[in-house]
Amino acid sequence: MDIASSVIGMRVRAMVNARAGRFDDAERMAREQIAMVDETDFIVDQGDARIGLAEVLELAGRPDEADAATTEALARYETKGNVLQADLARVRLERLRS
């Protein structure tokens, strides 16, 4: 299995765990996916992994940490010039900050 598939699978499992209230498992998986993808030069995937962590943290009631993860994702999207995902990250930040 390639790294992109592994990371996507981990993100899905992390979200399932978070929605089931298993926040420790969800956060561990989300952070593992970040560690995996950070070993690559796939900047958009690095941003996506951080958005996954932000979703977990938001569901766990930790908006400040979700904000930080989203801010990191936004920086990666902007670096890559991914306007759509950068805009979506900004919308998430506005919601987290309101």
Whole domain around residue 90: which residue ranges? 3-97
Residue with tokens 């298993």: 22
Q: Say if residue 1's pLDDT is above 70.
A: no
Summarised one tens digit per residue, pLDDT across range 18-73 is 999 999 999 999 999 999 999 999 999 999 999 999 999 999 999 999 999 999 99
The CATH code of the domain that includes 24 is 1.25.40.10
Helices (H), 60-82: 63-80
Q: What domain count does the chain have?
A: 1
